Homo-oligomer: A and B are copies of this chain.
Amino acid sequence: MLSYTEENYIKALLRLTLEKTVAGTNELAAQLGVKPATATDMLKKLREKQLIDYEKYGKISLTLEGRKKAMQVLRKHRLWETFLYEKLGFAWDEVHDIAEQLEHIQSEKLVEKLDKFLDFPKFDPHGDAIPNAEGEIKVFFTQTLSQIAVGNICRMAAVKDNSATFLQYVAQVGLSINEHIKIISKQPYDALTCIEVNGKQSNVSPKFTDNIFVVGENE
């Protein structure tokens, strides 16, 4: 059985290695809000438990077992977020912090009952895919709003950044999951993009458009 802390470490590693497959000590420590020295200690422990591949001064990656365990935590996190949002009526910028705690509740049966109660959701309130009971994710969004050309229309699939400030900002612009977005123009001078959502136009930064995943208008 993994401790609360160990679970947080492998979940952070999962996040870091989803794109780049390997991670570094400082990066991991930053992600978790601890000092690199602390992360080094934990890395030794996780290697001992065969959850990661790692050697001194080298790069870190999850073993198959580690990845599976991390996916289970991610599954719980996203199922609980969905519960909080769909059943209890929390806003989408409130669910993450509470799910950070709920994801550590130990009970296989609870996860499966919760999944059923929510009618086997495929996505969480932020548009992120929920791993299945085997710890697999099929859908991956790759296209961001910044990649859409002027004049085109797309649909918001998910948000990359889950921070409350960003989520509130997104909502303020009139955006939500599945909402249609038209790219009106891009300013070469200050790199802002003018988008139209439900008839309302807004100018947003590259940082903003980089953090919105989109799919084609009718996908």
A interface residue numbers (CB < 8 A to B)? 84, 87-90, 94, 97-98, 101-102, 105-107, 109-110, 113-114, 117
A88 surroundings in chain B (CB, below 8 A): 110, 113-114, 117
* Cβ distance A31 to chain B, nearest Cβ, rounded Å: 22
Kindly state the separation between the CA atoms of A106 and B89 in the bound complex, as whole angstroms.
18
Kindly state the separation between the CA atoms of A89 and B84 in the bound complex, as whole angstroms.
18
Would you call A98 and B107 a contact (CB within 8 A)?
Answer: yes
Kindly state the separation between the CA atoms of A94 and B117 in the bound complex, as whole angstroms.
17
Cβ-neighbour of A106 out of B90, B101, B114 (below 8 A): B101
Would you call B113 and A89 a contact (CB within 8 A)?
Answer: yes
Kindly state the separation between the CA atoms of A90 and B90 in the bound complex, as whole angstroms.
24
Would you call B114 and A105 a contact (CB within 8 A)?
Answer: no
Kindly state the separation between the CA atoms of A209 and B130 in the bound complex, as whole angstroms.
48
A97 surroundings in chain B (CB, below 8 A): 107
Would you call B87 and A110 a contact (CB within 8 A)?
Answer: no
Would you call B87 and A98 a contact (CB within 8 A)?
Answer: no
Query: Of all chain B residues, which has the CB nearest A113?
Result: B88
A114 surroundings in chain B (CB, below 8 A): 88
A102 surroundings in chain B (CB, below 8 A): 102, 105
A101 surroundings in chain B (CB, below 8 A): 105-107
Query: Of all chain B residues, which has the CB nearest A4?
Result: B4
A107 surroundings in chain B (CB, below 8 A): 97-98, 101
Kindly state the separation between the CA atoms of A101 and B88 in the bound complex, as whole angstroms.
20
* Cβ distance A96 to chain B, nearest Cβ, rounded Å: 12
Kindly state the separation between the CA atoms of A113 and B97 in the bound complex, as whole angstroms.
15
A90 surroundings in chain B (CB, below 8 A): 109, 113
A110 surroundings in chain B (CB, below 8 A): 84, 88, 98
A84 surroundings in chain B (CB, below 8 A): 110
